[in-house]
Amino acid sequence: MLEYKSEVVTMPVSFFSSKPKPESLAEFDKLLDERSSEGWELVSYSHLVDVNAGAKNSILLTFKKEKR
């Protein structure tokens, strides 16, 4: 049997671009590494649009792993 876990990650972006800042990508990589070491596998992601968010991007991540 599988169990699932969802998380919303918010990343600041550059003022003149929708690209994430390099330090944001490093934090994102760290989160993925942590979840992987806990046995979670990324199965889906979705960009969440918030017109009031300003200079931020939010991503919904869904992970799965075997339930023990």
Task: Provide the residue range defining the domain that includes 12.
Answer: 2-66
pLDDT at 31: 95
**3 vs 50, more confident:** 3
pLDDT at 44: 97
pLDDT at 40: 98
d(CA 55, CA 41): 29
**55 vs 2, more confident:** 2
Q: Count of domains in the chain?
A: 1
For position 8, which CATH number holds?
3.30.1660
13-58 pLDDT per residue, tens: 666 666 777 788 899 999 999 999 999 999 999 988 766 655 567 8
d(CA 15, CA 35): 30
CA quadruple 27, 33, 37, 39: dihedral positive or negative?
positive
pTM: 0.78
